[in-house]
Structure 1
Amino acid sequence: MSFLFLFVFLAAIVGVFRPYLGRKRWHFGLAAFASFILIGVFAPKPDPASVSEAGTSEKERSAAARPAGGKAEAAEASDAPDTNWDYSETTDEMRGTTTKFARVVSENEVDLDFPYGVVNGYLTVRQQKKDGLSIIFSVDKGQILCHSFSDGYVSVKFDDQPIRRFSCTGASDGSSDVAFILNERSFLTSLKKSKKLIIEGEFFQKGNQQFTFKTEGLNWQ
């Protein structure tokens, strides 16, 4: 049906420019307009299935054209282990030196009673030009019994390895909530291989207390 109206439309267009059969131009113009409308009404509708398939094919082509880099980057990110380590650094402007830190917070809390209350434990790896490598165990507040004059030590357990003792000493400024773990290189070597660490230290009037750390993914050169 649409082909018939198309033929009428073309004949009417010719009549607009070169009237024939004794008709006036506006007659042919009206016929052309009417036939144009009827062509649109009776034109075959597109198949919805074919439209859907065409849209799907276009999406597939677009997806195929995307670079594979995004997938590769996502794969690399998923391969990297989750880590609880926080990294920071400070700069001594006067001496032109930089101190680097990596710190992890304990998974558990310990109640040290009044006046300290519930505290977290912290393990910090520090590298500075003056003192070199330091391994620091600390709490929010409390008194860790680790003094150079009393042969203080902490017990540590890396993953399922045997329990080891590391000597420790207090901070030079007398802070009681900080202990420096000695034999730093050996400790760091085991720490970088571990996923879990338990540190047991002795606290004033609270005896031995344990703090558990998730240590996987330490990035330290």
Structure 2
Amino acid sequence: MSQIERKSKKWYEYKILWLFVGAWIIGVMLSKNRPSTSVESNVNVADIPPGNYSSDNGDAKPDNWSYNENIDRMTSAPKKTAQTVSTNTLDFDFPYNGGTSFTLLVRNAGNGNDVILSCSKCQFIHSFTDTNLLKVRFDENKAESFPFEMSTDHSSDLVFIGSESKFLKKLKKANHLIIGAEFYQEGVRYIDFDVSNFKWEQ
């Protein structure tokens, strides 16, 4: 083989090699610019509000009522409760300052229904001689008066609402509830509840 033929063959081999190198470099550059096929979630778990959720319609929606059922270990009787938290908070003076929320609790421990209104920090006003009354309004209906009693241990942060059957009958049909209660050195203040979709068969 002549010297010219050997040089021509080498040049051809170098050309093939550089073509492979160039193709490899182009492939690497294209792979870097290609969009990722993985899906990143923009939802932060910490941003999801707590609560009971229903996914019947595919959308997670918080449930305004929380239900619980257990057995009384002393009587073996079933104990059922349903509760909802007020949609507003009230601001009181010291020592109850800082925002007060309220809970409406419906309870049945086998001996009838109880309807209990409690607060995170407050002092309900009650009379030992006169009938104690709360102003109650269901939806856009006319406000009514419901009697209430204090607990047997005279706790000032909760009251038992009377006329339970009447109250629960109206509660099942209502979406919005306003309760007007009198508080120590604060006068009458109003508490709002979202009571829609209340289910109670007791």
- TM-score by length of structure 2 reads 0.67
SS in 1 for 2:100: strand
CA–CA distance in 2 between the matches of 1:114 and 1:90?
Answer: 38
CA–CA distance in 1 between the matches of 2:173 and 2:128?
Answer: 28
Alpha-carbon distance change, 87 to 108 in structure 1, aligned in 2, over 3 angstroms: same
Partner of 1:104: 84
Mapping 1:1-221, distance limit 5 Å? 77=57, 83-117=63-97, 118-130=99-111, 132-147=112-127, 149-221=129-201
Residue 91 of structure 1 and its aligned partner are, at CA, apart by: 2.3
CA–CA distance in 2 between the matches of 1:147 and 1:93?
Answer: 35
SS in 2 for 1:111: coil
Alpha-carbon distance change, 155 to 91 in structure 1, aligned in 2, over 3 angstroms: same
1:105-135 Cα distance to aligned partner (Å, 9 max, x none):
00000012110111001111111123x1111
Larger radius of gyration: 1
CA–CA distance in 2 between the matches of 1:188 and 1:148?
Answer: 26
Aligned residues: 146
Q: Unaligned stretches of 5+ in structure 1?
A: 1-73
Task: Please give the root-mean-square deviation of Cα atoms over the aligned residues, in Å.
Answer: 2.2
Q: Unaligned stretches of 5+ in structure 2?
A: 1-53
Look up the equivalent residue of 1:203 and give its one-letter code.
Answer: F
- TM-score by length of structure 1 reads 0.61
Residue 149 of structure 1 and its aligned partner are, at CA, apart by: 3.5
Higher helix share goes to which structure? 1
Look up the equivalent residue of 1:159 and give its one-letter code.
Answer: D
Residue 94 of structure 1 and its aligned partner are, at CA, apart by: 2.1
The percent identity for this pair of structures is 34
